[in-house]
Amino acid sequence: MNQLEQLKQYTTIVADTGDFQAMKAFAPRDATTNPSLILKAVQKDEYKPLLEKAVRDHGSKSIAEITDHLLVAFGLEILKIIPGRVSTETDARLSFDTQATIDKGRSLIALYEAAGISRQRVLIKIASTWEGIRAAQVLEKEGIRCNMTLLFALPQAIACADAGVQLISPFVGRIYDWYKKSTGQEYSGADDPGVQSVKRIYDYYRKFGYKTEVMGASFRNTSQITELAGCDLLTISPELLQKLSESDAPVARKLSPEQAQGAGLQKLDLDEKSFRFMLNEDAMGTEKLAEGIRLFCADAVKLEKMIAALR
């Protein structure tokens, strides 16, 4: 078996792309998208018709509504390919507005349901701010499952689990980027700070009985992926899926509920004040969360400009 086939024995593989052809090639169970991936996709000739159709069919609506229809149009096409769930992201500009995030999550699910898709097949992606986590808590109680993104630090993960969210996406590669830039060092294998962060979160969840799924995300190389074999899910770009499929090096399980029981972790009870303080104490987590929101906001604006130009 190649590395991708071996990995699938321990972990659910998710495609991190808006490229339908890549999904067909690697047969993932689930798929994730974000504003940056959709922006990249609609600039390709094969996906421009989705953009043009969204504008043509909904041109009388606001730019924000047309954007939602476009995001859902991509999600609907993806769901024709994969057997599992698609993640669709809320507007990052709502990251500090709980009620607006709740409203956006409800409206996206309504669009999917109007197209005949069960809400069980959709995850609403929300930035892991305190406000975003509170919004997810409300949505989960309504049966709207959430994928908490831009997650870099343990207090974010704990708050998400306490809120009962379906799934979190800790960003391995961006954590690695921060430490590499900060220290000037290269990291690999089990010494990678991004890998260590996800392992700590996974161990915490399994040790203390949380049901929230952990999906490692934002990988820079295949070593980061294979070091997390056994994680609930891993969302991987087509480029790295290709590399995994071309290698037959052995892949051993690294994470399991059994080994998590031996982790030397203490259970933490977080309220808003302790969450904010702990996150503030984590320079990497604070900086990467802010940066990630800014980047997603910028790409959302670019996507809106493309829509506006077609009206």
HSE value, Cβ hemisphere, 13 Å, CA-based, for 172:
34
Distance CA 103, CA 237 (A): 30
What b-and-e string marks burial along 34-68, b requiring 16 or more CB atoms within 10 Å of the CB?
A: bbbbbbebbeeeebeebbeebbeebeeeeeeebbb
- Number of Cβ within a 10 Å radius of residue 188: 12
User: What is the residue whose two structure tokens read 């974010």?
Assistant: 156
- 204: exposed, middle or buried (C-beta count within 10 Å: 0-12, 13-18, 19+)? buried
Query: Is position 125 annotated as part of the catalytic site?
Result: yes
DSSP 121-144: GEEEEEE-SHHHHHHHHHHHHTT-
The CA distances from residue 206 to 123, 179, 257, in Å, are 22, 26, 6
Distance CA 15, CA 82 (A): 9
Catalytic residue among 125, 207, 254, 288: 125
Contacts of 277 (CB under 8 A, 6+ apart): none
> Running DSSP on this structure, what letter comes out for residue 218?
-
- 261: exposed, middle or buried (C-beta count within 10 Å: 0-12, 13-18, 19+)? exposed
Active site residues: 125
